Structure formats: C-alpha cells, structure tokens
Chain A
Amino acid sequence: MRLELSVTDALAETPWWLSAIKAVVIFGFLVVSTLVMIWAERRVVARMQQRVGPNRVGPFGLLQGLADGIKLALKEDIIPTAADKAIFILAPIISATTCFLAFAVIPFGPVVSVFGQETALQLTDFSVSVLYVLAVTSVGVYGLVLAGWSSGSTYPLLGGLRSSAQVISYEIAMGLSFVAVFLYSGSMSTSEIVSSQDRLWFAIILLPSFLIYVVSMVGETNRAPFDLPEAEGELVGGFHTEYSSLKFALFFLAEYINMFTVAALATTLFLGGWQAPWPLGGAIWAGANDGWWPVLWFVAKLWIFMFMFIWLRGTLPRMRYDQFMKFGWKVLIPLSLLWIAIVATVRAVSNEASIDRQDILIWGGVALAVLLVVSIVWDYVSGRELEQPDDIDKPFDPFGGGHPVPPLPGQQAVAVAVVASPSNADSEVLDA
C-alpha cells in the first residue's frame, strides 16, 4: 500500500517528537554502523592479506570496535605544551558534529506510517538539500585544518594543509559530477532525485558522472589510495598526530561517518536511493518499494560502497601527492566540464527535436568512460618515461654527495676507487 502524502507534506506535518526520534535513530544508526564498519574493515582486509583478523572480542570479534573505544577512553588525554588549547579542543568537536549533519537529508525510504503518524523516512528535506550536504561537509574541513594548525607541531601542520588542499580539490570534481544529475532530475532535493530515478538509475544514464563521483568521494574522505594526509611514512598520523584518548576517537568516528555520508550520497544520487534494485521493483514484486523494505535496499547499497572502500584499501598502494593533485585538477575537472557540456547539449537538442536521448547518452557515457580509463593508462605509461632525470645517461658517482647513494634504475654507477684498490683485487681473485 502506497501512502498518498508527498514527502514534503509528510515532513511538514511530522510532529516535533517524531523528528526528535528520527534524529536519535539516525545518530544511533551512524554510531553503530561505524562500530560495525571498523570490525568489517579489519576482518575483510585481514582476509585479503591472508590473515584472520580480530576474532576474540564477542562473537566473531564483533565487539572489537567497542573494546577499542573503551581502551581509548582509558588512555591519557594529552594536550601538548605548544598547542593552542581552545582550538585544539574545538577541532575534534567541529569534525564530529558536522559529520552527522549531512545525513539529515538522506532519504532512507518513502513515506511510511510510524505510531499512526505518516512521515517520510528522512529527517528533513529542502529544495536545495544536496547543496546543504556540500556545505556541511565543507565545514568539516575546518576540523582538519584547525586540528593541524593548533597542534603546534610540524607533522600535523603539514597533514592538515595537505588534507584541506586535497579535500577542496576533489570537492570541485565532486560538485561538477552532480550537475548532470540535477539536469536530469530537475531538482536538488534528495527525495525528488530518488523518485526521478524510478525508471532508470542515474549511474547508468550518467556513467561518467558516477565514475568521477566515485573517484572524488575517495579523495574527499582521505581514504586509501588517497590517504595522503595521514601517510604514515611521511607524516606519522597527519593532522591527528598530537591527539590521543577520546579526541582521537572523535576524529576516527568522523572519518568513518564521512565515508558513510559520501556512500549514502552516491546511493541517493546515482543508484536510485532506497528504490529496489532492477529486477525486484515493479513487475516481479510490487511491494518492494513500499513500507519498510526500502530501508533494506538503501542499507545494502550503502554497504556495497563501504565494501568498495575496504577493497580499495586492500588492493591499491598510496598515490604520490603530486600525481594525486594532477589527476584531480588536470583529468577529473576538464573531463567533468566536457561531460556537462555533452549532457546539456544532448538534452537541449533532444528536447527541441524529441529524439530518444537515452541511447545517445548511454553510448556517449560509455565512450567517455573509456576515454577516462585510457587517459589514466596513458598517463601512467607516458609518465614513466617523462619522470626520468635528465642526466640519466651520465655516469653516476654513488659517493659524490659525501655519503653513499644507490643509483636509480637506468643509471650507471662509475667504477669506484675502492674496487680498484689492491686489497679488493685480492678478493676479486678469490671470487674468480
């Protein structure tokens, strides 16, 4: 049974206590999901690395996240002498508060009846909800920058700068990938975007947008292979190096909730949100999109993305910072602008001449996706040759700089004096 009320009306008539309950449920959902995700990530990555993973705390090690949290709470809360105390304390609060907020406009399902009250399974919705998500996640960047800046230490400062540069760079590609979606849905409200995908998901019609979004959402959340802000070989822990105890836990929580947020946004904008996956909806099972079932579809789609995050972490090595920025600015941004121009032109022309635009877009999208892959491969192959130093052919003196340096691949080390000395000549004889 589909209820008659529209999402906007249902939300407008929702009493305050029901909104409060929904807020608590979303909060609880996110915290519990984070605990499960920490466990799932460690178990799955362990499997990918031929290990077992945590399996001692609770059944299958499920309570590992909770145990880690309690352990962190019992650690000493350190505020370094050089830190700017007020901002040092404020930064994790900013991060952990803003990360929850984006979920307010994510639709978990259609209009349902709760305690005899008809309401939509989403906390709230405006005509510009996606803009609101972008705004809130941008405020979250302040948490990172201020944490890095206020620590009064070198590594956090560099980590904070890096993450802010990274997040804002990929936010452009991310923002551009939404334009095609708005073009097709004719709205920026999350519930309307979901309902405009009832026939075909935007991931299929707008494949390049989807791919660009998926890449930039990994960059946005500072996750592997784009986890440069906390590259432990270079920056120790990045912006949260100086944080300990529950302040560190808050940053950790914020990172994981941000992953859920971008995954939920991907689901809502590109994978049809709470709508049942293709063969299920409509003819086969008429009730699949009614009542509480959509929550299941939504959560399942969410976890597909979460698995992808884990998979990426288990598969790919970390990128180099300059390559990463180059990819964002020189590949993703021009490609998204080009794609927007194509989508807009196709739509305008087909609006005027009433041509079936779906075929054009799907094939055009596939062509552009191929172009994207080719550009990455080409960049990878050609970059190899370009990055050779100019003096590669010259003989290389390993002791030239005062201390021994191994030659780069392709460089020819000059015969060092030590080899020719009489004492070594003896050993060469012995070797022979």
Chain B
Amino acid sequence: MNPIVPILFLGLLAFGFAAFSILAGSLSGPKRYSRVKLDAYECGIEPTPQPIGGGRFPVKYYLTAMLFILFDIEIVFLYPWAVAFDQLAIFGLIEMLLFILTLGVAYAYVWRRGGLEWD
C-alpha cells in the first residue's frame, strides 16, 4: 500500500473531528446577541479601528521571514548531504564547509547591519 494512504486516514479523522467540533460548538452554546460582545476585545476600551485587509505591521517580520527562507534552503541542502555523507566523503565535506562559509558571510553581514536586532 502506498505510504501516503494511512496519512489520509489520519488526516480525514482529524479534519472530521475538528469540523464536527466547530459545528457542535456553534449549535450547543447559547446565542444572545449584543453589539458590544461582538466588538474586538481590547480590555474594555473602545477598540482600535482595523483597516480593511489587515493594515500594516512592522517590516521586521518580513525580514525575519526572508532570513528564515534563506536558512531553510540551507537546511534543505544540508539534509541530503548528511544522508549521503559516507558516499560523498572528503569531497562532500569540503564542498559543504565552503557552502556554510559562504552563507556565513551573508549571516555576518545581516548581524553587523542590525538585521537580527529587535527593540
């Protein structure tokens, strides 16, 4: 049997459970409408109006996401190398050390330019 099929079983089960819970939750609880209750929660003060479509948030988060993608790609290269390490031997080792070093330069640059600082 294809190894994906059992995952589908588990996935369907989990999805069914989640969907059922949400349906059950909306049916089993009371329904008492009040405008204030459906406002955004901000500890009782008048909620900050949210711009349509989410608005803007600090550019720091984009930077973190970009750096994450960079390093994640590094990891993607490291995995097959690690699995096939014994076949690649010294050649693979030197190549990969050079690769890590190259990325290390970029990493040092980001660090030096304050790309990893949070305030």
B 31-55 binary contact with A (CB < 8 Å = 1; else 0): 1100101111111000110100010
Q: How far is the CB of B30 from chain A (nearest CB, A)?
A: 5
Tell me which residues across on chain A come within 8 A of B14, comparing CB atoms: 27, 96-97, 99-101
How many residues of chain B have a CB within 8 Å of chain A?
66
> In the complex, A152 Cα to B55 Cα: how many Å?
10
Which A residue's beta carbon lies closest to that of B27? A77
Which A residue's beta carbon lies closest to that of B14? A100
Tell me which residues across on chain A come within 8 A of B105, comparing CB atoms: none
A 345-356 binary contact with B (CB < 8 Å = 1; else 0): 101100110000
A14 pairs with B118, CB closer than 8 A: no
A97 pairs with B18, CB closer than 8 A: yes
Tell me which residues across on chain A come within 8 A of B116, comparing CB atoms: 325-326, 329-330
Tell me which residues across on chain A come within 8 A of B38, comparing CB atoms: 78-81
Is A172 part of the binding interface, using a Cβ–Cβ cutoff of 8 Å?
Answer: yes
Tell me which residues across on chain B come within 8 A of A16, comparing CB atoms: 1, 5
B7 pairs with A348, CB closer than 8 A: no
B7 pairs with A27, CB closer than 8 A: no
A19 pairs with B50, CB closer than 8 A: no
Name the interface residues of B50-65: CB closer than 8 Å to any CB of A: 50, 54, 57, 60-61, 64-65
Tell me which residues across on chain B come within 8 A of A19, comparing CB atoms: 1, 5-6, 9
Tell me which residues across on chain B come within 8 A of A246, comparing CB atoms: 21-22, 24-25, 28
The stretch from A48-56, A179-187, A398-406 touching chain B is A179-187
A76 pairs with B30, CB closer than 8 A: yes
Q: How far is the CB of A108 from chain B (nearest CB, A)?
A: 14
Q: How far is the CB of A253 from chain B (nearest CB, A)?
A: 9
Which A residue's beta carbon lies closest to that of B118? A322
A93 pairs with B72, CB closer than 8 A: no
Interface range, A side:
35 or more
> In the complex, A322 Cα to B85 Cα: how many Å?
37
B 66-103 binary contact with A (CB < 8 Å = 1; else 0): 01100110010011001101100110010011001000
A92 pairs with B22, CB closer than 8 A: yes
- Apart from the given pairs A161-B61, A179-B79, 20 other A-B contacts in the complex at a CB distance below 8 Å: A15-B1, A74-B29, A78-B37, A97-B11, A97-B14, A97-B15, A123-B6, A152-B40, A154-B47, A157-B50, A158-B57, A165-B61, A165-B65, A169-B64, A172-B68, A179-B75, A245-B29, A322-B119, A325-B116, A341-B97
Residues of B that sit less than 8 Å from A by CB = 1, 3-7, 9-11, 13-15, 17-19, 21-22, 24-26, 28-32, 35, 37-43, 47-48, 50, 54, 57, 60-61, 64-65, 67-68, 71-72, 75, 78-79, 82-83, 85-86, 89-90, 93, 96-97, 100, 104, 107, 111, 116-119
Residues of A that sit less than 8 Å from B by CB = 11-12, 14-16, 19-20, 22-24, 26-27, 72-82, 89, 92-93, 96-97, 99-101, 103-104, 123-126, 131, 149, 151-155, 157-158, 161, 164-165, 168-169, 171-172, 175-176, 178-180, 182-183, 186-188, 236, 241-242, 245-247, 249-250, 321-322, 325-326, 329-330, 333-334, 337, 340-341, 344-345, 347-348, 351-352
